[in-house]
Structure 1
């Protein structure tokens, strides 16, 4: 597998995206579970398959481009919109919490931001969960700690390192639509349905006074590269934790609706941790 990974990293981006599109549709056709979840999640957000069918190919493209993003010495072309919100936060001496949903090329979001700002403002700290396969775990440890990026484990120690980074005026990156482990989240509406949602993003902001920057890295057509969209939250994050989590979920919905054709609708967003039953009133709504 490592040799295959290295081979894929050498392939040109147009070929990787073409292969990825085929892979996406093959998985969609071969897995009834994945297909049902994809359609159900999209329907929950108000979209029919005809409106978001392009997301099937984009899911495969995300997988196919990963070896290149991890191992190739040069990053692909990426235009950036909205960099002023980042410059303003750094100018005020504040830390930054970059938030992006599972949309487009979220792997490139942190890499491009690190290339742009880490030399002057310090590395961007991200959480990562080690893979079970030994070769992949070793590879991930190496690629996650690229220049300008500090990868920390998904543990209390890792969270403490993120807090310290923010208090130094540095940045951290999170995917707040990722389902957290038991005891590390709360139930909050996501496209009108209760979803077990991480509290970490809100707590980091509340404890450090960091600025929130929403990020969405859009994959451009015909392998022309990417476009990173950056914007502020638009309103101060509430000091009330449940309300702050709802604000972040609403912001993620906004990012997804801006480009629903590139969201991972097949992601198990409404997965229920064993000991975390959703509120009956909301579940029945």
Structure 2
């Protein structure tokens, strides 16, 4: 707690000067032609395999847990693709935030939009079941071509980075709602708005249950069903993928039927199965660098130690 209290909160704090330099470089990178930007990102990902051993180990651990059917060589090959895709995502974010000249809509394919439009025609709020694919920020920009929406997120501890993200998404995002502000999320849904919400990270064990994700117990927050019930919202899966040639795809799934149900744990397990379904389509683009299984049931070891 002491370290968190000592973190700078004033953007003028001299301790944030390195961040300012980094953000200036980030802006310059964002001016690169899109295909060159992605190529540079893949190069960054290749370097990360050697220069970011901690993230490499986390990725390999996640893949070993979730894809036991793969051989060690196959998992390593997939892990290398994960880091390359993550490198693409980092530089892609610079372009998504800072390069408004390129029309990304010309690179986009969309399927399932009719599910969302049908709910909106009924005047029903839509809880977009988001997923932590690493194309998350370019995906937000592409979603904004069809409708404005709000996003539930965890504010960044660094005020300059938080400002970058808020302003970078601000053109197409109505509200950035702190994930702890359940009431605001429900109010937006009751007004018939679209809210992007991703429950697929390990946020700790508070308000969470252990349900399978790729067959592994994963601490998963249970708020999805409560938000959907209180907001009277349709829950529509939303996945976004990066395709070869710098193209993109957004896939909206059919609304989850009979959701929420009477069993909160069953609802949460269903959410994880839904996310898993979309991850399997492009597993290299999922956020495997995150410690998804950091918290385990009592008596079970932390797999990252």
> Shared fold by TM > 0.5?
yes
d(CA) in 1 for partners of 2:170, 2:255: 28
Q: Match of 2:155, SS?
A: coil
Equivalent residues in 2 for 1:101-120, closer than 5 Å: 101-118=131-148
d(CA) in 1 for partners of 2:221, 2:142: 25
Q: CA deviation at 1:195?
A: 1.0
- Report what 1:129 is aligned to: 154
- Report what 2:210 is aligned to: 187
- Report what 1:58 is aligned to: 85
d(CA) in 1 for partners of 2:56, 2:173: 38
Correspondence 1:231 to 2:250: no
Runs of 5+ unmatched residues, structure 1: 119-123
Are residues 160 and 262 of structure 1, via their aligned partners in 2, closer, same or farther at CA, if it must alter by over 3 Å? Answer: same
Are residues 102 and 68 of structure 1, via their aligned partners in 2, closer, same or farther at CA, if it must alter by over 3 Å? Answer: same
d(CA) in 2 for partners of 1:100, 1:11: 28
CA contact (8 A) 1:216 1:255 kept: yes
Q: CA deviation at 1:88?
A: 1.4
Q: Match of 2:127, SS?
A: strand
Q: CA deviation at 1:208?
A: 2.2
d(CA) in 1 for partners of 2:34, 2:187: 37
Q: Match of 1:117, SS?
A: coil
Q: Match of 2:253, SS?
A: strand
Are residues 86 and 196 of structure 1, via their aligned partners in 2, closer, same or farther at CA, if it must alter by over 3 Å? Answer: same
Equivalent residues in 2 for 1:16-31, closer than 5 Å: 16-31=37-52
CA contact (8 A) 2:30 2:91 kept: no
Give the TM-score normalised by structure 2.
0.81
d(CA) in 2 for partners of 1:78, 1:57: 21
d(CA) in 2 for partners of 1:19, 1:283: 35
d(CA) in 2 for partners of 1:49, 1:232: 34
Count of residues in Structure 1 that have an aligned counterpart in Structure 2: 272
Runs of 5+ unmatched residues, structure 2: 1-21
RMSD, aligned α-carbons: 2.3
Are residues 160 and 103 of structure 1, via their aligned partners in 2, closer, same or farther at CA, if it must alter by over 3 Å? Answer: same
- Report what 1:143 is aligned to: 168
Higher-Rg structure is 2
Equivalent residue in structure 2 for 1:271, among 294, 298, 305: 294
Give the TM-score normalised by structure 1.
0.86
Are residues 257 and 107 of structure 1, via their aligned partners in 2, closer, same or farther at CA, if it must alter by over 3 Å? Answer: same
- Report what 1:67 is aligned to: 94
Q: Match of 2:123, SS?
A: coil
Q: Match of 2:245, SS?
A: helix
d(CA) in 2 for partners of 1:281, 1:135: 38
